[in-house]
Structure formats: structure tokens, C-alpha cells
């Protein structure tokens, strides 16, 4: 078994973690690992999307708010 530690969290956060469990006996460690993994993946994916968007803007491939309003008839 790996080394463990104790942390303090609020009852509200505990309830959120309980609701995130995929099955009753899943550990909080498993839930937190899933959140950390999702966060890392999202951050890398988001960084790539931002870079792609910046490149499109530099190429002039964008619409202003006013252009979108006109297209939507607002």
C-alpha cells in the first residue's frame, strides 16, 4: 500500500466528492486523482486551442461583435 496522509476539507466539499464517486466504495483519493487528471488534460487542450485561435486572429479570420449582431439580426 502506498504512503497516505490526512487532509481537512469542509463538509460541503466532502458532499461534492461523494456525489462525484462513480461507485459507492470508490475512495476520495480516486476521485481527487480523476479531478487532477482531468484538470491537466483540460489545461493542455485549452492551451492548444488558444494558440490555434491566436493564429486565426493573426490571419484575420474573425468577426467583430457588430458583424455577428448584423448576421443574427440583432
Residue 28, classified by CB atoms within 10 Å of its CB into exposed (0-12), middle (13-18) or buried (19+), is middle
29-56 pLDDT, tens digit each? 999 999 998 777 778 888 899 999 999 9
* Inside any domain, residue 23: yes
Locus of grid cell 489545461: 43
**pTM across the whole model:** 0.53
* Inside any domain, residue 26: yes
In whole numbers, what is the pLDDT of the chain averaged over residues? Answer: 91
* Inside any domain, residue 6: no
Domain that holds residue 39: 11-72
Amino acid at each position: 500500500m502506498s504512503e497516505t496522509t490526512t487532509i481537512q476539507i469542509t463538509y460541503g466539499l466532502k458532499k461534492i466528492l461523494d456525489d462525484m464517486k462513480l461507485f459507492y466504495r470508490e475512495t476520495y483519493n480516486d476521485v481527487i486523482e480523476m479531478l487532477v487528471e482531468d484538470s491537466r488534460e483540460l489545461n493542455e487542450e485549452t492551451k492548444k486551442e488558444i494558440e490555434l485561435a491566436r493564429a486565426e486572429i493573426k490571419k484575420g479570420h474573425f468577426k467583430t461583435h457588430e458583424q455577428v449582431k448584423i448576421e443574427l439580426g440583432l
